[in-house]
Structure formats: C-alpha cells, structure tokens
Amino acid sequence: MTGAPIEWITVPSPLPSGPLGVGVTGLGVAAVSFSPDVDPGGPAAPGAVRCTDRRRVAAVAGRFEEYFAGARRELDLPLDWRLATGPHRLVLETLYRTVPYGETVTYGRLAQRSGAFDQVAQSPGLAARAVGSMMAANPLPVLVPCHRVVASDGLGGFGGGRIGLDVKRWLLTLEGWLAPTLDWDGPG
DNA sequence: CGGACAGTCCACG
DNA sequence: CGTGGACTGTCCG
C-alpha cells in the first residue's frame, strides 16, 4: 500500500531546539522533527503539506504543551509506525513498550531486550552500537523515547550535534532523571 | 584510573 | 555494496 500522505503541524516547545514539526496521517503521528525548517522531508521541504484540521492541530499541540509543562507523562497519541521497518521498528517498539517516563535503559540492554540481534551475547558492544544507529534514525523522537536510552558509562549521544545533547538533557531533566542545572528553564 | 581498541550490527549514501 | 556511527568490555600504560 502507498501510505497516506503526511501533513505537518508546527508545535511550540520550550526545548533548546525550538518548535517541533509533527507529521500526522490518518493513522496517527508518523514523524517528529527537531529542525522543521531544514529537515529533509520535513514541513519546509518542497511538496510538504500543512495540516489544516484545526481540531487535530489543537489536540496534538495540547498534548505536547502538557507534556512539556510536566502536567502529563504520556503523550497518548496514536502512532503511525510506517517510517520504521524490520529490526529498526522492532527495537523502537520495544523501547516504546518497556521504558516508561522517568526511567532509562542502556543501549546494550535495549539491544538484548528487543531480541533483534543474534550476536548480542558474543559482542554486546556491536549490538549496542547498532541500537545507537537506530535511535539516530528514530522517526518519532519524544513519542518513542529515544532520549531515555543512555550509554553504560554516561549519557550517550543524541542527533543534532551539541544542541541535540542539550535536548536530551532537557527531556531527562523534565522527567526527573537528571537534576536541574543553571540553564534549565523548564518546570520545577 | 584513563585511554586505546577490536568487534562485524544497522542505516544511509 | 561501502562506510561510518547516539557502544561496550577488555587490555594496556
């Protein structure tokens, strides 16, 4: 089947990266972009369509607003998983299903838990690295909580370079896993 | 205790 | 197909 077209919504956010681009289809949210102005395939790309359904726009923006304000722990939005397939999707779904708000999992543990890798026991580092690739290619950041995946000896990485890591810190601080710092401008 | 290193998985060009 | 990455346990100095 040729998937339903993605329609884009711009959602205000207190993240250091600025507003989010949220791509929706009839099935649910299919994509989230931290840099909607430059993201290839994002809302600014040629041919991209904006979502004009005010009701849907309000629903999506409202959920994110509450989450960012610390008033909501689950986004509770239906997801359209079509942009991830195979082992990639299996790992993302395992993360979505098993790692709740305020908790984290290591790259290696997620690799093991997902069952997507044969050689995990022999070379845990390789599977962990593969999981890193999959997180970097997560089409649904925030909703599929790739920010809750950390390295065994630290925070690990995040897309978007230095600013990306700031986003990861911001989200983990919001969820209470990191202690607030001086540059923290969120709730609490 | 900190740094280098090999391992051979996956996404993307 | 080749390349490089959001890792990790082990091994040196």
Domain boundaries, chain A: 7-68, 84-174
Q: Which nucleotides of C are covered by protein (CB under 7 A)?
A: 4-9
Q: Which residues of chain A have pLDDT under 70?
A: 1-3
User: Which nucleotide lies closest to A40 by the C1' atom and the CA atom?
Assistant: B12
Establish whether the CB of A147 is closer than 7 Å to any nucleic acid atom in strand C.
Answer: yes
Query: How many C-alpha atoms does A128 have within 13 Å on its Cβ side?
Result: 17
Protein A24 CA to nucleic acid B7 C1', in Å?
A: 39
For residue A174, the model assigns a pLDDT of: 96
Protein A152 CA to nucleic acid C10 C1', in Å?
A: 15
Establish whether the CB of A145 is closer than 7 Å to any nucleic acid atom in strand C.
Answer: no
Q: Are the C-beta atoms of residues A144 and A96 closer than 8 Å to each other?
A: yes
How do residues A103-140 score in pLDDT, each as one tens digit? Answer: 999 999 999 999 998 878 778 889 999 999 999 999 99
Establish whether the CB of A139 is closer than 7 Å to any nucleic acid atom in strand C.
Answer: no
| Residue A108: Cβ within 10 Å count | 18
For residue A76, the model assigns a pLDDT of: 95
Protein A74 CA to nucleic acid C1 C1', in Å?
A: 42
Q: Which CATH number fits domain A84-174: 2.60.40.1260, 2.10.70.10, 1.10.10.10, 2.60.40.420?
A: 1.10.10.10
One DSSP character per residue, A42-106 reads: STTSTT-EE---HHHHHHHHHHHHHHHTTS-S-----B-GGG--HHHHHHHHHHHHH--TT--EE
